[in-house]
């Protein structure tokens, strides 16, 4: 193992080498996957009958798991391979989040590896291949986005991961990359549009949903409680993609149902970019929460929690007129 250089005092395991290995896990996986982009993949159902995987998920995850555990000694929990979810410190790996989207050549999918201490997030490294955007969040240091859409495509995995991490830990240098600091800014103070009789603060907000796999009808009825008070309600099919869009300011909220322990690998990104979040009842979100409500401001988070907990008409039919993206 390389010489350990302490990043900050946020956690004793948080070293520059660990940040590098987390970053390298995503970069190296993308380099292996890149020759197959632009082709349709074979996407098959898992044993549980509801989730999906491709021919690439498990081999890429096995390679990441082997390297991370060898170089850091920290156990790894994978979307496909599983692992010790009770470990006090662990890597969480989901090499292809939004597999059906990736298989259909859509842009709303991503690749993510994170380091968590079973209470909070320490590092999140994520990449949206179709957008060329790399996200890196480190506890106590902030969240950043790197635009890799045009340059560095021919760099080695080691070289590109080193450039990304060095950019975060050194003074600005032309030989390195440009990092954009991500800080979620609220839109609640936007003035009313001309002709608006009454200012409705969330009428221009976009909030995405991840409905999980079961009980979609009643979940749609829950989110119908706020449908008329926001602008668009896209369903991307990838928690990672939605959270990256909130970090960039393209989305203002997200609700994910049926969250599993392996879905909490976005913790550092949410915390360090300034998102506000809770479980579905409005209580603090933990690694064991089953519903995640995320927003760009506290007022909007409270609004979403309040609305999804209102009684709904079981006979209500969710609009299918194209205004909302279901």
H or E stretch covering 255: strand 253-256
- Where do you find CATH 3.30.540.10 in the chain? 16-182
Q: Where are the alpha helices (DSSP H) in 212-315?
A: 216-223, 239-248, 267-273, 298-308
Q: What is the pLDDT of residue 9?
A: 63
Write out the DSSP string of 302-315: HHHHHHHTS---TT
What pLDDT score was predicted for residue 91? Answer: 95
In this predicted model, which residue has the larger pLDDT, 54 or 238?
238
Q: Which residues contact 130 (CB under 8 A, 6 or more apart)?
A: 106, 107, 108, 109
Which alpha helices (DSSP H) does 73-124 contain, by range?
99-103
8 A C-beta contact, residue 102 and residue 96: yes
pLDDT higher at 100 or 232: 232
Topology annotation, domain 16-182: Fructose-1,6-Bisphosphatase; Chain A, domain 1 (3.30.540)
- Identify the pLDDT of residue 150: 67
Tokens 């790996």 appear where? 93
**Chain position carrying tokens 């998920």:** 57
- Judged against a pLDDT cut of 50, whether residue 144 lies above it is answered with yes
Taking residues 163-167, report their average pLDDT. Answer: 93
d(CA 299, CA 295): 9
State the pLDDT confidence band at 24, using cuts at 50, 70 and 90. Answer: very high
Q: For residue 284, with 0-12 CB atoms within 10 Å meaning exposed, 13-18 middle and 19 or more buried, which class applies? A: exposed
pLDDT (mean) for 175-185:
85
Where in the sequence of the chain do the CATH 3.40.190.80 domains occur?
Answer: 207-308
* pTM metric for this prediction: 0.87
What are 112's strand-pairing partners? Answer: 94, 126
Domain 207-308 class, CATH top level: alpha beta
Does 151 have pLDDT greater than 70? no
Residue 321 confidence (pLDDT) = 41
Looking at residue 197, what is its pLDDT? 62
Quote the Cα angle for 310-301-88, to 5°. 110
The pLDDT-based confidence of 236 (bands split at 50, 70, 90) is: confident
For residue 130, is pLDDT > 70?
yes
Give the C-alpha separation, 272 to 140, whole Å: 7
Chain-wide mean pLDDT for the chain? Answer: 84
In a 10 Å sphere around its CB, with 0-12 CB exposed, 13-18 middle and 19+ buried, how is residue 288 labelled?
exposed
């Amino acid at each position: 193992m390389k010489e350990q250089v302490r990043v900050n005092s946020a956690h004793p395991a948080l070293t520059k080498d660990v940040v590098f290995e987390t970053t390298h896990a995503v970069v190296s996986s993308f380099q292996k996957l890149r020759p197959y982009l632009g082709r349709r993949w074979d996407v098959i159902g898992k044993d549980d009958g509801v989730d999906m995987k491709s021919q690439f998920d498990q081999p890429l995850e096995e390679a990441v798991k082997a390297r991370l555990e060898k170089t850091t000694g920290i156990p790894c929990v994978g979307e496909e391979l599983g692992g010790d979810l009770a470990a006090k410190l662990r890597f969480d790996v989901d090499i292809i989040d939004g597999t059906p989207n990736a298989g259909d050549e859509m842009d709303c999918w991503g690749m993510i590896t994170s380091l968590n201490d079973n209470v909070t997030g320490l590092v999140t490294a994520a990449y949206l291949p179709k957008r060329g955007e790399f996200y890196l969040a480190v506890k106590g240091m902030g969240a950043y986005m790197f635009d890799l859409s045009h340059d560095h495509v021919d760099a080695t995995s080691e070289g590109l991961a080193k450039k990304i991490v060095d950019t975060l830990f050194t003074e600005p240098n032309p030989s390195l990359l440009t990092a954009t600091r991500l800080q979620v800014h609220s839109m609640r103070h936007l003035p009313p549009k001309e002709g608006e009789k009454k200012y409705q603060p969330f009428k221009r907000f976009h909030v995405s949903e991840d409905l999980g796999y079961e009980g979609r009808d009643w979940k749609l009825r829950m989110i119908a409680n706020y449908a008329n008070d926001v602008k668009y309600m896209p369903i991307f099919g990838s928690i990672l993609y939605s959270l990256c869009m909130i970090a960039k300011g393209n989305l203002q909220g997200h609700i994910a149902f049926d969250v599993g322990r392996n879905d909490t690998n976005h913790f550092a990104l949410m915390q360090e970019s300034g998102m506000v979040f809770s479980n579905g009842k409005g209580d603090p979100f933990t690694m064991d929460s089953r519903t995640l409500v995320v927003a760009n401001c506290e007022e909007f988070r409270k609004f979403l929690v309040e609305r999804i907990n209102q009684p709904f008409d079981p006979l209500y039919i969710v609009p299918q007129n194209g205004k909302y993206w279901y």
